[in-house]
Amino acid sequence: MLTKRIIPCLDIKNGRTVKGVNFIGLRDAGDPIELARRYTNEGADELVFLDITATKEKRKTLVNLVRDIAKEINIPFTVGGGIRTVDEIEEILKAGADKVSLNSSIVKNPALLTEASAAFGSQAIVAAVDAKQMKNSWEVFVKGGSEATGIDAIEWMKKVELLGAGEILLTSMDRDGTKSGFDIDLLKIVNQTVTIPVIASGGAGTIEHCCEAVLKGYADAVLAASIFHFREIEISDLKKEMALQGISVRTINESTNKLMAKEEIEFIYDLERLLISRRVEKPKGSYSTKLFKKGIDKIAQKLGEEAVETIIAAKNKKQSELVGESADLIYHLLVLLVEKEISFDTVIQEMMLRSKK
């Protein structure tokens, strides 16, 4: 089982964190910057920021607040709400977000998903889906859950994957804020239908609810708000119980009290982008350029050599040597993938698909 993520969500209105029930009855939940800092220190795997009234009020996301929060955290940061164009996505990413969450804008203009994933990579594009049960199916709602679309939610999630979304943030409107548990039936159907990661949202009330979302609903991540904001559940306690139930979770490094920094997580994507550039521009003096010029046979041969050297290092039982050879192996694997025009994200998605079997 691949590592599952715990994600606090900051629903923002007028610069403050708020929380309601079924998308209404909002109450103040605290200062978003202080909460973001707290969640980073407490071991959250990621953080989601949703400007919940931006679309309805026809305005842009609060970029300055996004920038202020990004300065305070070192975990992956997703931002959504009122984002309608590729230029606005770029502005949010430059402000410090690692991913953007798109909802109403892609229902209105599905091509935005494809354009965004082509421009920034599918790993940076999250398709947010607010789904409400209608007898034996679920319908997509937009504009902060205030407007029905008539679109079948399951079919829509199949489509967003094809259009280029790297992840789905699925919120059950019926369960949102009720603390009655996630919609397991919905999660199970979606996770058996799509191959990209699915974040479960709406209904978290207990530790067991979160475990069920993963074990029964096959969710790749669990998102919650009020149970974390008001300290009804501590992230550390949730992770301990998940681990006891056989769910793989990232633990805090006790010596530094930090999870792996987002710069480290994103490094592999930075390297991939650099290799793509090297393949196209072929600058002189670059080792990568030499490999690309010699073609797939030479690249495959070099990858095989690195694999053998990694095996030898493992048998020698010298940890530093094994680490070094493993780094060489991963680098040359990336070169091979770039040469074959296969994104690293595609490989990760395949691994996630296999983890669900």
Phi, psi for 131 (deg, rounded to 5): -115, 135
Based on the residue annotation, tell me whether 68 is a catalytic residue of this protein: no
Distance CA 125, CA 166 (A): 6
Tokens 């990413």 belong to residue: 93
CA distances from 176 to 21, 82, 201, 222 (A): 6, 20, 7, 13
One-letter identity of residue 86: V
Are 336 and 300 a contacting pair, CB within 8 Å?
Answer: yes
One-letter identity of residue 87: D
Annotated catalytic residue within 45, 130, 176, 183: 130
- Structural tokens at position 81: 């709400």
**SS3 string of 167-201?**
EEEEEECCCCCCCCCCCHHHHHHHHHHCCCCEEEE
Distance CA 28, CA 301 (A): 60
Are 170 and 133 a contacting pair, CB within 8 Å?
Answer: no
> Quick check: helix, strand or coil at residue 78?
strand
Phi, psi for 295 (deg, rounded to 5): 90, 180
Based on the residue annotation, tell me whether 152 is a catalytic residue of this protein: no
Distance CA 201, CA 138 (A): 15
Q: How many CB atoms sit inside 10 A of residue 33's CB?
A: 17
Query: Which residues is 128 bridged to in the sheet?
Result: 169
Q: Which residues are catalytic?
A: 11, 130
